[in-house]
Amino acid sequence: MTTLLARIGLITAGGDCPGLNAVIRAVTKSAIDLGIEVLGIEDGFLGMIEDRVRPLLFNDVSNILTVGGTVLGSSNKANPMRYAASKDSGGKPIFEHRADHCLGVLARHGIDTIVLAGGDGSMSIAAELIDHAALRGQPLRFIGVPKTIDNDLFGTDITFGFQTAVSIATEALDRVHTTAASHHRAMVVEVMGRNAGWIALHAGVASGADVILIPEIDFDFDSVCRVVVERSTHGKRCSIICVAEGAKPRGGAAVVARTDLTSPDPVRYGGVGKLVADTIEARTGIESRYVALGHVQRGGMPVAADRVLATQLGHHAMTLLRAGRFNRMVAVRDGQLTDVEIRLCAGKQRTVGPDDPLIAAACGVGVVFGE
């Protein structure tokens, strides 16, 4: 066992998700119990850039287990290696390298070890900062905690936030089912997930969706419309289609709502739900409606499973710290807590494989993936 540190930093970066406060609570309480001071870095890496750091005491993290979001705040636009500090006359972002500045901020606060709750983008930034700090002769160490509702972080079987997002999406699908049946409609529900179909797959199966469209399987409009027509012909009162925001028609591209050049991940998907609903109605004559759940999937209280998982992951991060195992990310593999190199997760996404057992189970009960 290594000598314990006197102080650590704690940061929640990237998109918010349910369970972040459970991690903050677990890390802080575990650290205090070990006599380690915790400094919270506000609003993700932006707090590092703007020198917004504050102590986290026991009372600061009491009674936050059930609270959604993050009491530290977050940001998905603040990469110290490429920070959009201003805009030119044409409105385009002007990027600056702020890594040296961030290292100075951390040095002033006596921080050389940071527990980071984040996704693939955040882990990529951490890996870059580790290398940059080494070149400057100022060691910087991270311990990652896997966070994202999309469940697409490479190196772990599950991330906290995912199960709450699936629960929210499932409830929405359940609710639109009744109104769709009342009006004999096809109802399309668009869920988040970026390039991964985990939310759509799990929520679609849980709600009994008739069609599930995910980014990993390009769909054919003829196949989707055929399902809707056949169900209507056989007296079914409605059809439910769950579509991931990154799903794309065969031979086409994903629907992009907008781009944000200030973000490390500039593409913002959105609109495929409307495209699918409009196409179904145009081709079949069956009234179709769509709902895009959007950020509602990120909000509210985490479900019990995410509270438990986030607590386990946060505590295991401190176990790694006590053992001196740095620049690792806590992970879950085959149902067991473990850890992997942060670099293994950087810049990669875990997507749904064609042989995933849940796809086979869905097909076995008649779900169509539009292929």
Helix 99-108 crosses helix 120-135 at what angle (to 10 degrees)? Answer: 80
Whether residue 269 has pLDDT greater than 90: no
Q: Which residue has the higher pLDDT, 181 or 280?
A: 280
Q: No. of H helices and E strands in the chain?
A: 11, 15
pLDDT digits (tens, 9 = 90+) for 149-169: 999 999 999 999 999 999 999
Give the whole-angstrom CA distance, residue 305 versus residue 308.
Answer: 5
Partners of 141 in beta bridges: 113
The predicted structure's pLDDT at residue 1? 41
Q: Which residue has the higher pLDDT, 211 or 257?
A: 211
Give the whole-angstrom CA distance, residue 271 versus residue 278.
Answer: 11
Q: What are residue 58's phi and psi, to 5 degrees?
A: -55, -45
Q: If you average pLDDT over residues 291-319, what whole number do you get?
A: 95
Which CATH class name applies to 7-159+302-345? alpha beta
DSSP 148-202: -TT--BTT-S--BTHHHHHHHHHHHHHHHHHHHHHHT-EEEEEE--TT--HHHHH
DSSP 226-251: HHHHHHHHTT-S-EEEEEETT--BTT
Whether residue 67 has pLDDT greater than 80: yes
Positions annotated as catalytic residues are 150
Q: Specify the CATH superfamily of domain 162-299.
A: Phosphofructokinase domain (3.40.50.460)
Query: What is the Cα gyration radius of the chain?
Result: 22
Question: 371 in helix, strand or coil?
Answer: coil
HEC string of 90-153 equals CCCEEEECCHHHHHHHHHHCCCCEEEEEECHHHHHHHHHHHHHHHHCCCCCEEEEEEECCCCCE
Name residues whose C-beta falls within 8 Å of residue 244's C-beta, 6 or more positions apart in sequence: 190, 191, 192, 193, 196, 197, 199, 200, 213, 214, 215, 272
Whether residue 265 has pLDDT greater than 80: no
The overall average pLDDT reported for the chain is 93
Token pair, residue 172, equals 């929405």
pLDDT digits (tens, 9 = 90+) for 88-107: 888 888 889 999 999 999 99
Whether residue 123 has pLDDT greater than 60: yes
- 25-to-68, 228, 308, 356 alpha-carbon distances in Å: 13, 47, 12, 34
- Would 7-159+302-345 and 162-299 be classified into the same CATH topology? yes
Domain ranges of the chain: 7-159+302-345, 162-299
Are the CB atoms for 176 and 240 separated by under 8 Å?
A: yes
The predicted model scores a pTM of 0.94
Whether residue 142 has pLDDT greater than 90: yes
pLDDT digits (tens, 9 = 90+) for 307-365: 999 999 999 999 999 999 999 999 999 999 999 999 988 888 999 999 999 999 999 99
